[in-house]
Chain A
Amino acid sequence: MNGPIRRLAIGVFAAMASLLVAVTWFQVVRADDLKTDPRNPRPALSEQAKERGVIVARDGTIVARSIQEEGSRAFERQYPLGPAMAHVVGYSSFLVGDTALEAAYSSELRSKRDLTISDLISAILGRDLRPQNLEITIDPTLQGAALEALGDNRGAIVALDPATGAVLVSVSTPSFDPASLLGSDAAGQWERLLTDPASPLSDRATREIYAPGSTFKTIVTATGLDTGMVEPGSVYPDPIELGLPGSEATISNFGDRPCNDGDPVTLLEAFVRSCNTTFASLAMELGASEIGITADAIGFNQDIGYEWTVPQAVWKTAELSDDDAALAQSGIGERNVRATPLHMAMVAAAVANNGVAARPYLVERVFDADGETLSSAEVSEIGRAMAPETASVLAQMMERVVTEGTGRRAAVPGVRVAGKTGTATGSGGFSNPWFIGFAPVDNPTIALAVFIEGSSMSGESATGGTTATPIASTLIETWMARGN
């Protein structure tokens, strides 16, 4: 009987050997393929479960943190301010990836611990494996007020410290709760947000470009003043409409009315009333390249080096040089001129900052787990957009817009506010109201851009002077009331 048992033993050990071969195949030969297979949730889950650094606002408010789950080594990411910070902080989700600061500072925010022997080696070498933390420039109170002020509108608000470029507010509506993309229902929430026609995931403040409309007249005016070709008192005719050379198209003022009852109008009056015919003429007078020089000095047609890649603001000098009709339309911020609300806030900030455009930034400093600063933001400028005298004259003109012109509703009692309204042509026949401005005029501490997308109202009520200005007023009032 031992014969058959011996043969069975050989068979059994051949079978055991086949198990050994198979386990070698899966755990040695194919291990890396299996480990990195996109369907294997382990790498993403372990990344998700790792601690990430804290993100605090300038006033110490926590806007993102990792909390250790009960009875587990896994961490859960929390965003206490929810929708208010969604487009600034972003989210870090194993299912849908990272965005905004969570993506831009991913390597700093990540924990370098991987729970293997290499941790021990790093500990011996004295490397700090703990996640690093961010302090950001956002003012949470103002940010919350901005979200509230936009209400049910689709739009964006950006506010900057004009001197440094520190971003005080960056809000895009509609927003979403980033925490909803971390939970068990992340896939469903993601699908819902993606298919929402109001596209809550897109950051209208920094990642979308729009025609700036009449707010672009600030750049045209700055160019005119800078070159010495015009001054606030320069006089222009006031036609009902302006025929464009080599084109059937015409430019008219708001409501197809003359700007000054048909009487000649000064540049200042035209600016305060936002006369399109005047600035179309002025643009043609100045030429595409002169305007382009000013625009480029505020960062048009280039990467401005923000915290993440933002679309370039557009002024097409070459294209406009031999097309006066297009130049005239571009001079009033239409046609192919495009900018993000962030960029238009930079325009207002440049006027406020004596003509120098500061590079905008969000992260004030990176600090380690002991609170030690590892790196701080360096204030840098993009360029000098206009001479200091030009900036000062333009600031006075912009103040007149708020005291007696189209921006009257942006006024704040007791505060000298300067600004410029705009009503750009949006998609589908809707108009996009704008307001850019700064305050206080004598010593500006805030510059901002308010943008509303596709106002469903029409006529007077759909202009920047009606819908965007009250929001600006509210925010400036909130800002100044807090002693800034």
Chain B
Amino acid sequence: MTRSTEGLIVATASALAAFGVTLVNFARGDGVDVQTGLTFLVFLIAFGGLYLAIRTWGHKATPLLLAPVAALTSIGFFEVYRLSTVRGGLQRWWLLIAAALAVGALALLSRHGTSVLRRYRNLILLVSVALLLLPNLPMDWGFPMRGLQLNGSRLWVLIDVGFTEMQFQPAELAKLGLVTYVASYLADHQRALREAHRRVGPFTFSEPRQLIPLLVVWSGSVLILVWQRDLGASLLLFAGFVLLLYAATGASGYLVAGGLLAVVAGITSYLAFDHVQRRVIAWLSPFEHYQDEGFQIAQGLFALGSGSLSGAGPGLGRPDLIPNASTDFMFAAVGEELGFAGSVAVLALFALVIAVGLGISFRSRDTFRKLLAAGLTLVFAVQVFLIVGGVLRLVPLTGITLPFMSYGGSALVGNMLLLALLVRISHEEAS
């Protein structure tokens, strides 16, 4: 695939978003209105801008990243719009902001390359931890940035920008920073980690002294998220660390130890927290608890089943019956309205992004870039698996977003930056 084909696909994806919005309008009994044109324009500006930025500052990067991301974003967008016109309008603003930030990131990285991230990893760590702690700002003080608690979780920051209030979930950005830090640390200590090791039974582990800073960062950030009751993000970070550690050392003992730790932590939190127990009940027997715990998952499955092979059509299903359809249950909403065909397409697009990301890592010569690409892609993959698997009852539901598709500004910003980083790494490795 060439750069021009990429451009064509990105333009097509913009048209797809506008077409989806138009179909939703028709389903509502309205005709073509300003929403169609506005959507096309915003997508063209956002993805066209990204495309031009890649041409300018990352022209050697693989053309296979932006195209599937544009397609996923456009499908997700008209489904968000279908569920709520207001959220659709907000999501368009967020798309512009996220694309602008990703363009900015590409521009910044064009001078010094990704190695600058390696150099300033301690600063990045500091900023990331600060971001993680932001939601714990007082909820009622006068400062225009306040903590916010929603649905029993303390994950949000409310920013009062005078004319309106914005909600932001800083963990979405902290996630990137922490992965960058860990990749950088592992790249620096790779040799030591691999060579000085201790045996525990059949498994080998690195010298604890080498691991201590990493373990502190890791357990610290996971504990902050557990404390904030962000089940999804804590699981995501936990898995990301373990997988990256394994990627860097090749010691399968980390996977085993991580798995055991996850089981122990899971059982402990099941015993300790009501909200974890409710999630497990909903996961194991949603239909038996249809009236309460299982309602959301059961509705999600009804949506998928009703969507069947070809789906109800945009705007013609009833995904609005699923609680939190536009965030946690975006996959079920798409499955209902676009059917099995749409679900498979979405999974295929995610698989493509993941495959390309891992491919970038695989072909990287520089250790940091290799680990950064692997880390970012793995966290992305785990996120897709956790939320889609949660909807499909493979794992208990953890409230995280479906990348590029769910409603939510912070998630979109975080994922666009992730895209920019992968593009940049791909470009540098091809240079």
Q: Chain A interface (Cβ within 8 Å of chain B)?
A: 1-6, 8-9, 12-13, 15-16, 18-20, 22-24, 26-28, 30-35, 37, 39-42, 45-46, 68, 71-73, 115-116
14 sample A-B contacts, Cβ–Cβ < 8 Å, listed by A number: A12-B381, A13-B354, A16-B351, A18-B389, A19-B384, A22-B389, A24-B340, A26-B304, A30-B305, A31-B304, A31-B305, A39-B302, A46-B318, A115-B313
Pick the contact of B362 from A5, A24, A34, A40 — CB < 8 Å? A5
The CA-CA distance from A13 to B321 in the complex, in Å, is 32
The CA-CA distance from A2 to B354 in the complex, in Å, is 16
A41 to chain B, nearest CB (A): 7
Interface residues of B in 307-321 (CB under 8 A from A): 307-309, 312-313, 316-318, 321
B392 touches A32 (CB 8 A): no
Chain A residues contacting B287 (CB-CB under 8 Å) are: 39
The CA-CA distance from A73 to B302 in the complex, in Å, is 22
Pick the contact of A4 from B247, B318, B321, B394 — CB < 8 Å? B247
Chain B residues contacting A6 (CB-CB under 8 Å) are: 362
Chain A residues contacting B302 (CB-CB under 8 Å) are: 34-35, 37, 39-40, 42
The answer, yes or no, to whether B36 is at the interface (CB within 8 Å) is no
B381 touches A42 (CB 8 A): no
Q: Which interface residue of A5, A8, A45 has the most chain B CB atoms within 10 A? A: A5
Closest chain B residue to A70, Cβ basis: B29
A461 to chain B, nearest CB (A): 52
Pick the contact of B381 from A15, A30, A68 — CB < 8 Å? A15
A15 touches B358 (CB 8 A): no
Q: Which interface residue of A18, A23, A26 has the most chain B CB atoms within 10 A? A: A26
A26 touches B247 (CB 8 A): no
What count of chain B residues pass the 8 Å CB interface test? Answer: 55
Chain A residues contacting B316 (CB-CB under 8 Å) are: 73, 115
The answer, yes or no, to whether B385 is at the interface (CB within 8 Å) is yes
The answer, yes or no, to whether B290 is at the interface (CB within 8 Å) is yes
Chain B residues contacting A31 (CB-CB under 8 Å) are: 304-309, 340
A5 touches B374 (CB 8 A): yes
A-side binding surface: helix, strand, loop or mixed?
A: helix
B343 touches A73 (CB 8 A): no
Q: A22-B389, A33-B305 are in contact. List 5 more A-B contacts (CB 8 A).
A: A4-B247, A12-B385, A26-B335, A37-B302, A41-B318
Chain B residues contacting A39 (CB-CB under 8 Å) are: 287, 290, 298, 302
The CA-CA distance from A68 to B28 in the complex, in Å, is 10
The CA-CA distance from A445 to B235 in the complex, in Å, is 81
A19 touches B309 (CB 8 A): no
B354 touches A16 (CB 8 A): yes
B347 touches A19 (CB 8 A): yes
Chain A residues contacting B190 (CB-CB under 8 Å) are: 1
Decide: A3 near B335, CB < 8 A? Known: A45-B318, A71-B28. Answer: no
The answer, yes or no, to whether B301 is at the interface (CB within 8 Å) is yes
Decide: A72 near B347, CB < 8 A? Known: A16-B385, A23-B304, A34-B301. Answer: no
Closest chain A residue to B373, Cβ basis: A5
The CA-CA distance from A149 to B18 in the complex, in Å, is 60
The CA-CA distance from A196 to B323 in the complex, in Å, is 35
Pick the contact of B321 from A8, A24, A42, A72 — CB < 8 Å? A42
B389 touches A5 (CB 8 A): no
The CA-CA distance from A34 to B190 in the complex, in Å, is 51
Chain A residues contacting B298 (CB-CB under 8 Å) are: 39
